[in-house]
Structure 1
Amino acid sequence: MTTPCVIFMQMYFYEKKFTLRVKLTLIPITLGVITNFYYDIYFNYLGTFYAALGVVITSLYQVWISQKQHELQMDAMQLLYYQAPVSAALLLLIIPIFEPPPASWPRTWTLMEMFMVLASGCIAFFVNLSIYWIIGNTSPLTYNMVGHLKFCLTLLGAFLLFEDPLHFNQIVGITLTVAGVTIYAHVKLKEQSEKTSKTLEEGEKERLMS
């Protein structure tokens, strides 16, 4: 539900316009994602509350990344340079609460454990950098489309590489999602082409008038 939430936030809080064609592409994508998860979802009030909160916070985070990059004219690396120390400071305060040190503290770390922590940090850096780069160069909505495509590829990869069972509802969901993402890409490319053509026409008219 992050995708429609991102659209809602950008439309009603930042006055961004989306064409009807773009909005219609969300129908197969949303249906595809719901179909994938439908038989694995078990609702309870607390879980639903945290899930809804996660959707709102994730959507707001993605929208703010786009807004700040364009507002401050920053590239992905610059934004990450200022954001990472703040995140690290917050985590230093939160980690002891949710992951208290063991009774045998301090403990000695093995070389493999230190390597895994370092590797995890490096991977997280590149994940964040890719998020900022995609959102900064496209939009939060396009980033969500990439995320949906990644999700479908993960399911297919698990099926092909690890023989993880793929149920009929998942096949339908993947088909709908990939179709929606493909249509979205086609619509965005067409809109970009129309925008470029219109800009060239206006420039040509101004040149002739001058």
Structure 2
Amino acid sequence: MKTRNLVHFLGMTFLIGGIAGLLISFFIHAELYMEHLNPFNFMELVGLIIFDAGLGFTFSVLSMTGFFAYLFIHRYGISLFRSFWPTVQILLIAFVLFDLVYFPYQSTKGEVSLFYYIAIAFGLLVYSWIIAKIKAKETNNKAFIPALFFMVVITTVEWVPGLQAEGTDYVWLMIVPLLACNTYQLLKLHRITEANAASSENKGTKMKPKKA
């Protein structure tokens, strides 16, 4: 990947995280925004916007770290497990989805309904399934399982601090920027690499001497 494309890729991921974090905060912190709007308090309102957008930017950096870690894990998994790597990924997906329900529910000691965590895990799986299908359609069928693994497993690992926080505010303030950034990175990477490959081929064709 060219340096210019890499900078644009990272910059867009960073920007998407900030925007997603700010948008979800309008719902999570609706009461705070209303307090600063009526009566209107410019400085407090700006401070709240900067804080919520800053959280999104922070989570976008976490997403980028997780994405590049995933690229390494995927290559390492292929070299280690070879043809069994897809099966290993499916098992890890199932294990993570189970943990996503069991451990948060146990930590609340029954204060939060079990169906709440089941709904979260199911929602993550459905969204990840849709994105993985898009990835497979745009590339090849073999990309489906790795894409699903990234969207479920890596996103959940990145999401752990939000799941451990008290209350549900940070659960949503964190997952929305993470999903937005991870979706962008997953669906954008192959487009950049394909564009770079096409550009290299065109340059190579132009450099070939014409036959007499």
TM-score range, shorter chain: 0.3 to 0.5
The structure richer in helix per residue is 2
Q: TM-score, normalised by structure 1?
A: 0.38
Q: TM-score, normalised by structure 2?
A: 0.38
Larger Rg belongs to: 1
- The structure with higher relative contact order (CA 8 Å, sep 6+) is 1
